[in-house]
Amino acid sequence: MEFKFISELTEPMQIKYFLHHLELPRGFTTAVKFNGEILLNDQPVSVRAMINPGDELIMVAPDEKGHDTVIPSFEPIEIVYEDRDLLVVNKPADVVSIPSIKDPDSAMANRIKGYYVAQDYHNQVIHIVTRLDRDTTGLMLIAKHRLAHALMDRQIQNGQIHKYYQALTTKTNWQNLHGIIDAPIARNDQSLITRVVNPSGKSAQTEYWVQEQFQHSSLLKLQLHTGRTHQIRVHLTHVGGPLIGDDLYGGPLTKILDRQALHCAELHFFQPFTGEPLKIQQPLPDDMRQWILKETTFKIENQ
């Protein structure tokens, strides 16, 4: 894959310093130096060559063949957005993000690998930028090559990737329609899986907006300002409103919702090479919409 850069510097510079100026990841430049090619104005050069203002530098990166440990699955995936560098998919419920001993060939990574194989993409390493829990639905962001992955990780570190969730909570008596739940989260001494709010835990903040309130639940929009395990589930349980379907934290299971009612509905980030701001959205899944329809019908019938 080729990556083009135009020198906008005001004076000549060795290419190795120009690459440092671009803040390209060292692993990427090393791979290009030893297994790819560097072209200056279409001529092969080494990193010791001089680049002048206005010159075009092309980095030809070697193909990423992929790991044999990620078994391709040809289960269909729902693509929400795709360009040369990025892929955004809509993850269904009951699917993990990455393979494990328990799920060696049914994760989203396996399905994406199958898609890459079917498309005959040159790069077949799966670079997942944002993950979701097994029973959380919605948007997952994947980088299609190592450089895009490094640049998207940099956006995460700089707070430039924003994820917004929608959730159905059992809490119906919100005093404030917008606020921040600021409560530290720690491991639960009584469980290997769950987490709890505890003063000894790590700082955690979840911002919420109450979008609708029903008889038995509320629809929330949420943004994580920290990334603690089970953060939304723990914080909502802490304020008296576990998620519908989240029996691990005390939420009620129903025929309509037999999994935690949590959905990644929006992703905001920048295209790593053009700088274009991207806002990707995904509507609520069927089970959450059916729950809302049931609540709305109940409200109308009891007016």
Residues taking part in catalysis: 133
Tokens for 69?
């440990």
Cβ neighbour number for residue 193 with a 10 Å cutoff: 9
Q: How far is CA 18 from CA 14, 23, 108, in A?
A: 6, 9, 37
Return the HEC string of 30-62: HHHHHHCEEEECCEECCCCCEECCCCEEEEECC
Bridge partner list, 267: 163, 280
